């Protein structure tokens, strides 16, 4: 029986455990985190078999450790668990940013070759222990970003587990990953958060939010995502996100100028390009993520 420790039994960690169970894998899953109440609830939901709030105790005899906390917690978690990891223990993560997590693993793990960085391109706007479900990863992409030192055997073990959850595997360079997802996932989340916050401010002056319709609800679904997770994505993918926001500001300026100058040609051209791109290139399973987002089932 494979012993797996999941640190952070929320949407991503919980769904991973439920996916493995649904696939019939012979696993003993230990949950670890800060809240006893959440961990106990994870046992009740059949997500984990046992739990500990001591991270070192939780990883001590495990074959595989999945880090599924917000990205900003990973460095401290790595520091804490590193001395308790066995020489063959494989550590992987699910963080939405890859270069910072790899840097932490490199700093703290004695057997850095056993660290397999990964990122599931699946999620919902819900979080916490109640949010996980077994089919979250079915047909969704799982991006592996191994580095030169990463053991191919460790990659195979992690890949096999994710395949069992139904994920389709891809590999990517970590820096490229952070740039790509800054544009396709992190930027749209920033725009959704900012749009809702803007309307909230306008609503304070003169109530208008009760007039929003289906389009607004569709567009802003991801603004219901976890604030801590997204705070950390901003802090740890800062440069790539700022570059994407710059591009967006350039595009927004073109739009504002066209509206200001009643430039119907530019407006129509811009909307046509966007419509054609959306209609032909954005596939439903590729919409980069509600929290890297994909759709709720």
What are the residues binding ligand NAP (CB under 6 A)?
A: 7-13, 33-35, 38, 68-71, 73, 77, 94-96, 119-120, 123, 127-128, 131, 226, 229, 290-293
**CA triplet 226, 42, 135: central angle to 5 degrees?**
70
- Closer by beta carbon to ligand NAP, 111 or else 119: 119
Residue 180, token pair as written in the block: 């790509």
Please state the separation of Cα 294 from the chain's center in Å. 10
Question: Which is closer to ligand NAP, CB of 38 or CB of 150?
Answer: 38
CB of 218 to ligand NAP, least distance (A): 17
Shortest distance, position 53 Cβ to ligand NAP, whole Å: 8
Contact 119, 95 (CB under 8 A): yes
> Could you tell me whether strands 2-7 and 115-116 are parallel, antiparallel, or unpaired per DSSP bridges?
unpaired
| Token couple for 145 | 């970003």
Residue with tokens 């350039």: 250
Least distance in Å: CB of 51 to ligand NAP? 10
- For ligand NAP, give the closer residue by CB, 84 or 199: 84
Kindly tell me the sign of the dihedral angle through the C-alpha atoms of 164, 170, 172, 178: negative
Residue whose CB is less far from ligand NAP, 46 or 251: 46
Residue among 183 and 267 whose Cβ is closer to ligand NAP: 183
8 Å CB contact between 116 and 90: yes
Q: Give the residue with the Cβ less far from ligand NAP, 277 or 285.
A: 285
* Minimum distance, C-beta of residue 27 to ligand NAP, in the bound complex (Å): 19
- Any idea what DSSP says for residue 185? I
Distance CA 69, CA 10 (A): 8
Measured from the CB of residue 114, what is the shortest distance to ligand NAP in angstroms?
Answer: 19
Give the Cα-Cα-Cα angle 286, 173, 10 (nearest 5 degrees). Answer: 55
Shortest reach from residue 279's CB to ligand NAP, in Å: 25
Tell me how far apart the alpha carbons of residues 288 and 183 are, in angstroms, rounded to a whole number. 9
Confirm if 119 and 292 have CB atoms less than 8 A apart.
yes
Name which of 96 and 150 has its Cβ closer to ligand NAP: 96
Token pair of 230, please? 């997204």
3-state secondary structure of 120: strand
- Report whether 157 contacts 4 (CB < 8 A): no
Shortest Å, Cβ 34 to ligand NAP: 3
Nearer to ligand NAP, 74 or 263 (CB): 74
Rounded to the nearest whole angstrom, what is the least distance from the CB of residue 239 to ligand NAP in the complex?
A: 17
């Amino acid at each position: 029986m494979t012993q797996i420790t999941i640190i952070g039994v929320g949407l991503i960690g919980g769904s991973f455990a439920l996916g493995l169970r649904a696939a019939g894998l012979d696993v003993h899953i230990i949950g670890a985190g800060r809240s006893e109440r959440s961990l106990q609830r994870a046992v009740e939901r059949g997500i984990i078999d046992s739990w500990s709030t001591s991270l070192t105790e939780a990883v001590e005899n495990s074959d595989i450790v999945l880090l599924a906390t917000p990205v900003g917690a990973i460095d401290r978690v790595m520091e804490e668990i590193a001395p308790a990891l066995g020489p063959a223990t494989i550590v992987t993560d699910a963080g939405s940013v890859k270069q910072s997590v790899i840097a932490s693993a490199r700093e703290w793990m004695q057997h850095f070759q056993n660290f397999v960085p990964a990122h599931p391109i699946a999620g919902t706007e819900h979080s916490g222990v109640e949010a996980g479900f077994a089919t979250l990863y079915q047909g969704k992409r799982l991006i592996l970003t191994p580095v030169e030192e990463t053991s191919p055997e460790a990659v195979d073990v992690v890949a096999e587990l994710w395949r069992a959850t139904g994920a389709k595997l891809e590999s990517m360079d970590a820096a490229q990953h952070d740039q790509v997802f800054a544009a396709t996932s992190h930027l749209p989340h920033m725009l959704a958060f900012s749009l809702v916050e803007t309307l909230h401010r306008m609503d304070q002056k003169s109530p208008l939010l009760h007039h929003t319709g289906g389009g607004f609800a569709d567009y802003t679904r991801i603004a219901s995502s976890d604030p801590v997770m997204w705070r950390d994505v901003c802090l740890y993918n800062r440069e790539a996100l700022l570059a994407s926001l710059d591009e967006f500001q350039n595009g927004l300026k073109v739009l504002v100028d066209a509206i200001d100058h009643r430039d119907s040609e530019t407006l129509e051209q811009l909307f046509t390009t966007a419509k054609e791109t959306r209609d032909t290139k954005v596939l439903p399973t590729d919409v980069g993520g509600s929290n890297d987002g994909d759709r709720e089932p």
